[in-house]
Amino acid sequence: MLVTSSTELRKLNRRFRGKNKTTDVLSFPAMPGLIPRYAGDIAISAEIAARNARDLGHTVAEEVKVLALHGILHLAGYDHEQDNGKMERKEKHLRKSLGLPSGLIERTRPTVKRLTAGRRSSRASR
C-alpha cells in the first residue's frame, strides 16, 4: 500500500484510468498468476485522507483504514458502480466489525436533499 500526495494520485489516475483528476484511493489488481496470493496494490492520498478525517470528525488513521478497506474490496472483485449495492453492504458489514466510521460509498450516495438541490458529493470518483 502506498500513501502519497494528491499530486501522485492524480498522475496515477491519469496514467491508468485516463482521468486527469485527483482521487482518494486507487486499486491496482495484480496480473493473474504473476505472484501467488498477491491481490494487488492500493494507493491512498494522504492529503485527502487528512481532509476527510478533519471534515468527518475522526482520526487520519481511521480514514486511511476506511480507504484501504475500500481498495481491498475492489481488489477482491467488488465494483460499487455495477453491483447493485453488493460492495456497499460488504463494506458496511466489515466497517462495523472493525469499528470504523462511515465508508466511501455511503458518503457519496446522494440524499434526497442533495438530489432536490441538484448537488452531488464533491469526492472524486475512482
Q: Which domain holds residue 33?
A: 2-117
CATH number at residue 16: 3.40.390.30
Find out whether 104 and 83 touch, Cβ atoms under 8 Å. Answer: no
The two beta strands, 40-45 and 25-29, are antiparallel
Q: What's the confidence (pLDDT) of residue 59?
A: 94
Give residue-wise pLDDT tens across range 40-96.
999 999 999 999 999 999 999 999 999 999 999 999 999 988 888 899 999 999 999
Number of separate domains in the chain: 1
Q: What's the confidence (pLDDT) of residue 110?
A: 62
Note whether residue 86 is domain-resident. yes
Reported confidence tier of residue 2, pLDDT bands at 50, 70, 90: very high
Output the DSSP codes for 35-60: STT--EEEEEEHHHHHHHHHHHTS-H
24 pLDDT exceeds 80? yes
Reported confidence tier of residue 34, pLDDT bands at 50, 70, 90: confident
Question: What mean pLDDT value characterizes the chain?
Answer: 85
Note whether residue 14 is domain-resident. yes
Note whether residue 101 is domain-resident. yes
Stretch among 33-42, 59-68, 116-125 having the lowest mean pLDDT:
116-125
Note whether residue 12 is domain-resident. yes
Q: What's the confidence (pLDDT) of residue 11?
A: 97
